[in-house]
Structure 1
Amino acid sequence: MTTPNPGPVKVRPPLAREVVKAVAIEHGVCIRPVPMRRVNLHTGETERIDVPCGHTLASVCPTCAERKRKLRAVQCAQGWHLDSEPVIERADPDAEQRYLIELRAKAQARRDRVEVHGPDDGGDLAFWDGLLVELDREIERAGVAGTLRTGDRSPRRVRSTRRRQDVPDLPRRPVENRTVGRTFLGRGGRTFRPSIFLTLTLDSYGKVKSDGTPVDPTTYDYRRAARDAVHFSKLVDRFVQNLRRFVGFDVQYFATVEPQRRLAPHLHMAIRGTISRAELRQVAAATYHQVWWPPTDRIVHPNGRLPVWDPAARTGETDGVEEIGGYIDRDTGAVLPTWDEALDAISQDDAAEPLHVARFGEQVHAEGVLADTPDARRCIGYLTKYLIKSVADCHTAETDAQRAHVERLADALRYEPCSPTCANWLRYGVQPKNPRPGLVPGFCKGKAHRREHLGYGGRRVLVSRRWSGKTLADHKADRKAWVLARLAEAGISATRPEDPNGVYAWERAGPGDPDVRPLDERLLHLIDERLQRRAQLDQATQTITELSAIPEAA
C-alpha cells in the first residue's frame, strides 16, 4: 500500500508578534523587558522604564544571553595575559557604613551576654539573632561588600586529613603573593609571556560510541557518573587548591563547565602564566574529593512507606532550646536520626568509608597560548561557546539511543542525594539538614536534580578573585563609559540622570498597571530607541574619524 502524496506544503505568513521579536533580536533589544517605575522622592515625579531581563539562556532571551556571553569573553581576555599585578581598589567607608558597623558591634556584644547569662540579662536570644540579621542586610544595602564571619560557634566536624593511599603524593610549596606568570626570552631579545588553556575530564564509566551513548548500557556505571556530576564543583575547587600549593604562586583562572557528549561535565580553564604539562598531570592525578555522607546502599523507607512529618517530634537541642518538629517512621513512630547524628555516627566509626570519591580521568589536555593571537581568540570563543545554553542543550539528544542515555542518567540522579538538605535522605533513613514539612524523596527541587542540568549543580563560570581586578559589573560599566565617551567627543549627550544621593526609588510595575503598555508596543518603542542610539553612535564614530583625519595646524 502506497502512502498518498500530501502535496506541496503551504507556507503561512509569519505572526506579527514573532516578526517584532525577530526585529528586536536583530537590533539587540531584550524581548522580555521588565517594566520598572522610578519615583523621584523629592518631586514625586514618576517615570516608567523598561529594564532588560538579563537572562543568561538564549532559549529565554537571545539578546540578553548574547550580551552576557560577550561580557564574559571580555572578562576572560582582559585577565588572561596580564603582565602586571591587578590592582583592586576599595573605597573608604563612609559615615553611614561606620555607624552601622558600630551598631552591629553593640548588638553582637549584647547577644553574646544573653547567650552566656541567659534571657534575664537583656532579652530573648532569638530577638538578638533576628536583629543581627536585619543589621547585616542594612550593611549590605549601604554598599559594603562581603559578609562578617560571625554566628555558629559549635565545634567544627573534621575527619582525618591523611591522604589516600591510592593516589600519588603531592609536594607543597609556600604560596607567593603573585599572580603573574614568568617571562621568557626568545630569539633576538624578544620576550613573551605564555599562558595555559587546560581541559580536565572525569574518568570513564564504560566505552562509548562517537555519539556519546554507551556501547553496553547494562555495564555503564550510571551511579558513579551521577555522583561525579553532583560533586564536580568540589573536585574543581580541590584541584585549584592543590595547583596553587604545588606551583607556589596564587594561580588565577577563568573556567567554564560544560558537558561532553557522554553527558559528563568537564572543565575548560584559562590559566594566567605557564605551568608544565607534566606538573598539571601530576596535580590532576593527585586531586580527589571525598564525600563523607551517610551511606545510601540500602533503601530504609521505600516509596510506599515513606516517613511522615510530626510537628511534635523532638529532634535535639540547640543553645539550650529544644528543637521540635521532624520526620518519624510511620511503622514504629521512632524519630529518624538527624543530619548531625548521622555524621557523628560516621565520625565514631573508624572503619567508615566515604560515600563517594570523585577523581579526574587520565585525559589532561594543556596548550600554551600567547596574547593577541588567533589561538587566544579561538580559546576564548571556545570557553564561552555554550554559556548561553543550558547544560542539557549543549548536546541535543537527536536519536533514540541518545534520548535513552539521558533517561538512564536522569533515573540515576532521581534518588541520589545532591546536598545535606536534599529530600532524598528520607529514603535512606536520615532526616535532611534543616528539615521542613512536605519533603518527598525523588522530588527534590535542587538544581542538580533538574533535567536541564544533568546532575551538575555548580556555577557554569568560575573566575578567581584576582583575575582582572574587575567584577562583571565593572566590565559592563566600562562598555557603557566607552559608548558615552564616543558620543561626548562628537558633542552628543546621551546620559540619564544619575542617583548619587538616593533621590529615586524603584519598584516593579505590574502588568495590569495603566501605565504599562502591551509587550508588543513596548518592544516597538525599544526598537525605535535602539535605532536612534545606533544612529547617534555611528554619527559620533564618523565625526571622530573625520576630525582625526584633519592635520594639526603647524
Structure 2
Amino acid sequence: MPRARDVAREVAKEHGVCIRPVALKRLDIHTGQSEIIDVPCGATLEAVCPPCAKRNRQLRMAQCREGWHLEHEPTITPDEPSEEQRWLVEFRADMQAQRDHALQAGEDTTDLDAVITGLNEEINAAGMRGNVLGGAVPKRNRSTRRRQDAPDLPKRKMTATTLGQTFEARNGKVYRPSLFVTLTLPSYGKIKNGIPIDPGTYDYARAARDALHFSKLVDRFVQNLRRVAGYDVQYFASVEFQKRLAPHLHMAVRGTLPRVEIKQIAAATYHQVWWPQADHAAFEGEHLPVWEQGTGYLDPDTGEVLPTWDEALDQLDADEDARPLHMIRFGEQVDVKGVLAGTPDADQCIRYLSKYLTKSLGEALDSQAQRDHAARFVEALRYEPCSPTCPNWLRYGVQPKDAKAGMAPGRCRSKAHKPEHLGYAGRRVLVSRKWSNKTLAEHKQDRRTWVLEALGQTDQPTDPHRYVWKPVPAGDANVPPLAVRLLRAVAERRRWRAHMARLQAEAEGQDLSAIREEAA
C-alpha cells in the first residue's frame, strides 16, 4: 500500500505544485501585518522538483520562440536611475575623493578601500551593471595574430542591425529564414555506444581540458560569426553532453548564412589558454606548499614564497618562446539546418533545444560501463586547474589568485570539479542580450499576466518597498507541515483551473452564438 504522504507528493506534481516550497515571512510595512508565504523552489532539474523544472523549461521555450524570428529591431533602453542609485553613486564619489586626498597625503587607505569595495557591491545589488570607474582594471593582451594552422575568415562591414536577410518569392511572399546549428568537439579515441573501445588510449586529459574551456570556445565562435555575417547576430543556445560525455552545442541563430561559411567559421575558431604550465607536478602527495599567514604559500623545502598568479603571468609574458597551456577547437562534425518561422521544423528545434535542460547528467549513466567511463573522466579532471583561483595551481608551484589558508590540490569546490558537471562550469542556456527584447523576469511576468487575465483579475503593480521578506527559521512552529502546505496548494490550483475552464467554456459559448447570429 502506498503512503498517503507519497500520494500527496504525486498529486502535487500532477497539478504543477512545487514539492519543495520555501517558506518566507512577508511583512507589510504599511499595515504591520506579517504572513508566511510558500515560494516555489525554482529548481531547474526534474530530479529535484518536476513542476518547477517543467515551468522553467516552458519559460525557456517561450523565450526561444519569441526571439528567433523577430521582424522588428529590438529596442533596449536602460531604466532611469532611481533616487537610491543616484545617492549611491554620489556617496561613491565622496569616498573616492577622500581616498585620492589620503593618497596624496601619504596616509593609509585600507579602511577607505574596504568602504569603496562594499559600495561597489551595493551599486550592483541596487540594479546597476559594471562599476563606476569602467575599465579600471588593466587587461592582459596577447598577440592577435592568427595561428598558421587556422584558416582565414572573410570579414564584412558591420551594419547596425540584429535582423537577418529576407528573401522574396515569385508570388511576392517574404521569407526570413534562420539557422539551427550543432557544434561538437573532436574525437579523443574510438568509441562504441558512447564508451571508449580502449580506455587506455582514450585521451582523457585533452577531453578534460576541452570541457573546462568549452564556454570560451563558444564565445570565440560567436565573435567570428558576427564578423563574417556583418551584423549583430543574436542566438539562443543550449549545452548538453553527448554519450561520450563531451559537451556540445545546439544554437538557434537569427538570420541566415551559407552553410559553407558556417562550417568555415567553425573550422577557423579556436581558443588558446595562456596559463602557466600545468603538465608536470612540482608538489604532490604529502609534499605540498605550506601556508604562512601574511606571506602566502611557501616551498616546503626551501621556504621560498611561491610566485603569485600575477607574477606567474608576468613570467609567461616575458618568455618569447612561451606556448599556450591548451588550445581548444571544434571537431569536423558541424550540422547546419535552415528554419522558417511557424513551421513544424521550428517547433521541433525549439523542443530539441530545451529537451535536456531538466535532466541531470547522472540520469544518462544507465550502465556500469558508462559509470566507469565517467569515473575515469572525473579522475582526469581532478588535478586540472579550472580557473585562476583553483587550488590545483599549488601542485604546479603557483599560488592561486586570492590564495587563502586551507587550499589543497585535488580539493577544488568549484562547479567544474563536481562529478555531475564533468568539467563544464558554464551555463546550460546561453542567450544573447538582444534576443527576445525581454529579460527572463519579463517573460515570467507575461505568463503571470496571462493567467490573471484568464482568471478575470488585473495585475496591479505593487510598491517594491512595501514588503520586507525574511527567511523562516527551521522548525518554526508557525509553519505548517509540508504535507498540509502541499494539500493547500493543490486545492488552490484546482480552484484556479476550474475557474479558467468555466471562463473558457463561457467564451466558447459566446463565440458560437455570435457565429450563429452572423450566419442567420
CA separation in 2, counterparts of 1:262 and 1:114? 58
The answer to whether the Cα contact below 8 Å between 1:65 and 1:388 also exists between their aligned partners in 2 is: yes
- Percent identical: 56
**Which residue does the alignment assign to 2:470?**
507
Amino acid in the other structure paired with 2:58: K
The answer to whether the Cα contact below 8 Å between 1:80 and 1:270 also exists between their aligned partners in 2 is: yes
SS of equivalent residue, structure 1 residue 507:
strand
| 1:337, distance to aligned residue in structure 2 (A) | 1.2
| 1:302, distance to aligned residue in structure 2 (A) | 1.1
- 1:540 matched to 2:503: yes
The answer to whether the Cα contact below 8 Å between 1:167 and 1:286 also exists between their aligned partners in 2 is: yes
| 1:548, distance to aligned residue in structure 2 (A) | 3.3
1:433 is aligned, of 385, 401, 415, to 401
The answer to whether the Cα contact below 8 Å between 2:88 and 2:119 also exists between their aligned partners in 1 is: yes
CA RMSD of aligned residues (A): 1.9
**Which residue does the alignment assign to 2:485?**
522
Aligned 1:88-99 pairs, distance under 5 A: 88-99=76-87
2:370 is aligned, of 399, 402, 407, to 402
**Which residue does the alignment assign to 1:480?**
448
Structure 1's 131 and 550: CA in aligned 2 closer, same or farther, altered over 3 A? Answer: farther
Amino acid in the other structure paired with 1:257: V
**Which residue does the alignment assign to 1:104?**
92
The answer to whether the Cα contact below 8 Å between 1:198 and 1:268 also exists between their aligned partners in 2 is: yes
Describe the superposition over 1:488-514 as per-residue Cα deviations: whole angstroms up to 9, x where unpaired. Answer: 2xxxx476x753151211111123112
CA separation in 2, counterparts of 1:511 and 1:430? 43
- 1:298 matched to 2:280: yes
| 1:44, distance to aligned residue in structure 2 (A) | 1.6
Please say which of residues 161-170 and 230-239 is displaced more in the overlay.
Answer: 161-170
Amino acid in the other structure paired with 2:465: G
- 1:245 matched to 2:208: no
1:353 is aligned, of 323, 326, 338, to 323
The answer to whether the Cα contact below 8 Å between 2:455 and 2:496 also exists between their aligned partners in 1 is: no
The answer to whether the Cα contact below 8 Å between 1:195 and 1:370 also exists between their aligned partners in 2 is: yes
Structure 1's 325 and 532: CA in aligned 2 closer, same or farther, altered over 3 A? Answer: farther
| TM-score (normalised: structure 2) | 0.95
Structure 1's 249 and 194: CA in aligned 2 closer, same or farther, altered over 3 A? Answer: same
CA separation in 1, counterparts of 2:223 and 2:429? 17
Aligned 1:203-282 pairs, distance under 5 A: 203-209=186-192, 211-282=193-264
Structure 1's 49 and 253: CA in aligned 2 closer, same or farther, altered over 3 A? Answer: same
Structure 1's 392 and 158: CA in aligned 2 closer, same or farther, altered over 3 A? Answer: farther
The answer to whether the Cα contact below 8 Å between 1:255 and 1:268 also exists between their aligned partners in 2 is: yes
Amino acid in the other structure paired with 1:535: A
CA separation in 1, counterparts of 2:183 and 2:372? 26
The answer to whether the Cα contact below 8 Å between 1:392 and 1:451 also exists between their aligned partners in 2 is: no
The answer to whether the Cα contact below 8 Å between 2:99 and 2:112 also exists between their aligned partners in 1 is: yes
CA separation in 2, counterparts of 1:549 and 1:79? 34
| 1:270, distance to aligned residue in structure 2 (A) | 0.1
**Which residue does the alignment assign to 2:335?**
365
Amino acid in the other structure paired with 2:489: L
| 1:517, distance to aligned residue in structure 2 (A) | 1.0
**Which residue does the alignment assign to 1:192?**
175
**Which residue does the alignment assign to 2:40?**
52
CA separation in 2, counterparts of 1:348 and 1:244? 33
2:307 is aligned, of 337, 345, 362, to 337
| 1:150, distance to aligned residue in structure 2 (A) | 2.7
The answer to whether the Cα contact below 8 Å between 1:202 and 1:265 also exists between their aligned partners in 2 is: yes
Structure 1's 242 and 468: CA in aligned 2 closer, same or farther, altered over 3 A? Answer: same
| 1:547, distance to aligned residue in structure 2 (A) | 3.0
For structure 1, the 5+ residue unaligned runs are 1-12, 312-323
Please say which of residues 507-516 and 107-116 is displaced more in the overlay.
Answer: 107-116
| 1:178, distance to aligned residue in structure 2 (A) | 0.5
Describe the superposition over 1:230-276 as per-residue Cα deviations: whole angstroms up to 9, x where unpaired. Answer: 00000000110111011110000000000111110000000001111
Structure 1's 151 and 374: CA in aligned 2 closer, same or farther, altered over 3 A? Answer: closer
The answer to whether the Cα contact below 8 Å between 1:510 and 1:516 also exists between their aligned partners in 2 is: no
| 1:160, distance to aligned residue in structure 2 (A) | 1.5
**Which residue does the alignment assign to 2:148?**
165
Describe the superposition over 1:442-485 as per-residue Cα deviations: whole angstroms up to 9, x where unpaired. Answer: 11011111110011111110000000100111001001111112
SS of equivalent residue, structure 1 residue 551:
helix
Please say which of residues 331-340 and 170-179 is displaced more in the overlay.
Answer: 170-179
Please say which of residues 190-199 and 102-111 is displaced more in the overlay.
Answer: 102-111
Structure 1's 545 and 389: CA in aligned 2 closer, same or farther, altered over 3 A? Answer: same
| 1:190, distance to aligned residue in structure 2 (A) | 1.8
| 1:298, distance to aligned residue in structure 2 (A) | 1.2
**Which residue does the alignment assign to 1:134?**
118
For this pair of structures, how many residues does the alignment match? 517
CA separation in 2, counterparts of 1:346 and 1:149? 31
Structure 1's 100 and 547: CA in aligned 2 closer, same or farther, altered over 3 A? Answer: farther
CA separation in 2, counterparts of 1:297 and 1:113? 47
Amino acid in the other structure paired with 2:141: V
CA separation in 2, counterparts of 1:112 and 1:436? 29
**Which residue does the alignment assign to 1:7?**
none
CA separation in 2, counterparts of 1:234 and 1:338? 24
SS of equivalent residue, structure 1 residue 437:
coil
CA separation in 2, counterparts of 1:201 and 1:306? 38
CA separation in 1, counterparts of 2:77 and 2:134? 29
Structure 1's 167 and 381: CA in aligned 2 closer, same or farther, altered over 3 A? Answer: same
The answer to whether the Cα contact below 8 Å between 2:295 and 2:305 also exists between their aligned partners in 1 is: no
SS of equivalent residue, structure 1 residue 375:
helix
CA separation in 1, counterparts of 2:451 and 2:69? 25
Aligned 1:171-182 pairs, distance under 5 A: 171-182=154-165
**Which residue does the alignment assign to 1:62?**
50
Amino acid in the other structure paired with 1:73: M
**Which residue does the alignment assign to 1:375?**
345
Please say which of residues 352-361 and 292-301 is displaced more in the overlay.
Answer: 292-301
| 1:153, distance to aligned residue in structure 2 (A) | 4.3
Amino acid in the other structure paired with 1:303: G
| 1:151, distance to aligned residue in structure 2 (A) | 7.5
CA separation in 1, counterparts of 2:134 and 2:229? 35
Amino acid in the other structure paired with 1:333: G
The answer to whether the Cα contact below 8 Å between 1:486 and 1:540 also exists between their aligned partners in 2 is: yes
- 1:79 matched to 2:67: yes
Amino acid in the other structure paired with 1:163: R
Amino acid in the other structure paired with 1:62: P
The answer to whether the Cα contact below 8 Å between 1:194 and 1:369 also exists between their aligned partners in 2 is: yes
| 1:538, distance to aligned residue in structure 2 (A) | 1.6
SS of equivalent residue, structure 1 residue 345:
helix
CA separation in 2, counterparts of 1:118 and 1:58? 58
Structure 1's 506 and 145: CA in aligned 2 closer, same or farther, altered over 3 A? Answer: same
For structure 2, the 5+ residue unaligned runs are none
Amino acid in the other structure paired with 2:350: I
| 1:126, distance to aligned residue in structure 2 (A) | 2.6
Describe the superposition over 1:517-552 as per-residue Cα deviations: whole angstroms up to 9, x where unpaired. Answer: 111111111111111111122222222323333439
| 1:404, distance to aligned residue in structure 2 (A) | 1.7
